[in-house]
Amino acid sequence: MSSAWGEKIKVSIFGESHGAAIGAVLDGLPAGEELDFEAVALQMSRRAPGKDPAATPRRESDLPKIVSGVLNGRTTGAPLCALIENTNTKSGDYENLQRVPRPGHADYPAFLRYGGFNDMRGGGHFSGRLTAPLVFAGAVCRQILQRRGIAIGSHVLFVADCRDTPFSPTDIPEDLLQRLASVPFPVIDREAEQKMRNTIEKARMAQDSVGGVVECALTGVPAGIGGPLFGGIEPVFSSILFGIPAVKGVEFGAGFGAAELYGSQNNDAYYFDGGTVKARTNNAGGILGGITTGMPIVFRAAFKPTPSIAREQDSVDLKTKENAKLRVHGRHDPCIVSRAAPVVEAAAAIALINLMTL
């Protein structure tokens, strides 16, 4: 089971949704970096369950306990290990999934891959619960990047057919990113939030769920970071983004929309701005040839609807080898997109720090 990512700074995620604890190990962090644990707690609270009507009612404090790698508030250079206790589990809600897998979830392929020995409770190691230690790791990396002038923020671009105002591809104020990165349901147009919430509540009342898209931006990233082919910004970012449960698509800049344009429309024309090369547009999303251009990095991650829904679904009984009906019990998000925003930001921070020379 591959639960480690990164080369310069390696992140290892461990634990299961209903185990004693989950956590992360960060190896390769520079020594002497001061950590603001209030800022870490803010990011953890944005993702934490049970704090918003649009999320699962499972309540977890998600306060990380630092086991190693920090002394007097600064990194020591040793592996930084953090534990997050699971305190509010109801494992009995998942007993029927041992033999009747959830459509749209990893239950069936995981049963095949691990011979039925994997922990099914709450989704086990495949659960979105495992994004909590990822957010912790990203919150640490984000602080290191902030000291180097890099800002990261995201917003819910849309839920179903409810859309927020997209980022300006070329001009993204740092204070906007800071505002978005400090709230649990980040949107640029505050009126869009209530429309999205109404759609999520409608899905919940119908015993269903709904998906959406998170748009993320990074500013202050110097030009010239990355490389061609497999070590570029897009493949490195994508490899960790696709590790987030429920992500089914990633696009940079104009993304799939660029396929509908002519070269004269898609090319970002250069100009000098006080001796700095800039682009008048940013269809490239701040990346060309896998290398940063100095423009904002802008990308989007698409999240599928939560597969665990209360509505009756068709499945199979793996023991009797007959068709079966399934009703999923337990506490689940009718939409994970708002809680996924800090996870996307965390993944972006971890990806970028692995590409930079600190």
Q: Is 101 annotated as a binding residue?
A: no
- Say how far apart CA 311 and CA 296 lie, in whole Å: 42
Q: Is 329 annotated as a binding residue?
A: no
Q: Are 181 and 345 in contact (CB under 8 A)?
A: yes
Q: Are 204 and 138 in contact (CB under 8 A)?
A: no
| Per-residue model confidence (pLDDT) at position 18 | 79
pLDDT greater than 80 at residue 96: no
- Computed over every residue of the chain, the mean pLDDT equals 91
Q: Is 272 annotated as a binding residue?
A: no
Q: Which helix (H) or strand (E) holds 299?
A: strand 297-303
Instruction: Report how far Cα 172 is from the mean position of its chain's Cα atoms.
Output: 20
Alpha-helix runs per DSSP H in 58-215? 107-113, 131-146, 174-180, 190-205
Q: Is 125 annotated as a binding residue?
A: yes
- Quote helix, strand, coil % in the chain, to nearest 5: 30, 25, 45
Q: Where are the domains of the chain?
A: 4-355
Q: What is the pLDDT of residues 235-252, one digit of tens each?
A: 999 999 999 999 999 999
Model confidence at 101, in pLDDT bands (50, 70, 90)?
Answer: confident
Q: Is 300 annotated as a binding residue?
A: no
Residues 6+ apart with CB under 8 A from 184: 45, 46, 51, 52, 338, 339
Q: Which residue has the higher pLDDT, 227 or 331?
A: 227
Q: Is 51 annotated as a binding residue?
A: no
Half-sphere exposure of residue 132, counting CA atoms within 13 Å on the CB side? 28
Q: Are 237 and 230 in contact (CB under 8 A)?
A: no
pLDDT greater than 90 at residue 183: yes
| Per-residue model confidence (pLDDT) at position 90 | 59
Sort 65 into a burial class: Cβ within 10 Å, 0-12 / 13-18 / 19+.
Answer: exposed
SS3 73: coil
Q: Are 348 and 342 in contact (CB under 8 A)?
A: no
Q: Is 289 annotated as a binding residue?
A: yes
Domain topology for 4-355: Chorismate synthase, AroC fold (3.60.150)
Residues for the chain: how many in total? 358
281: its two tokens: 């547009």
Q: What percent of the chain has pLDDT over 90?
A: 74
320 to 115, 118, 316: CA distances (angstroms) = 16, 20, 9
Q: Is 331 annotated as a binding residue?
A: yes
Instruction: Determine if the pTM surpasses 0.85.
Output: yes
102 to 51, 118, 230, 242, 327: CA distances (angstroms) = 26, 15, 35, 21, 9
Q: Is 47 annotated as a binding residue?
A: yes
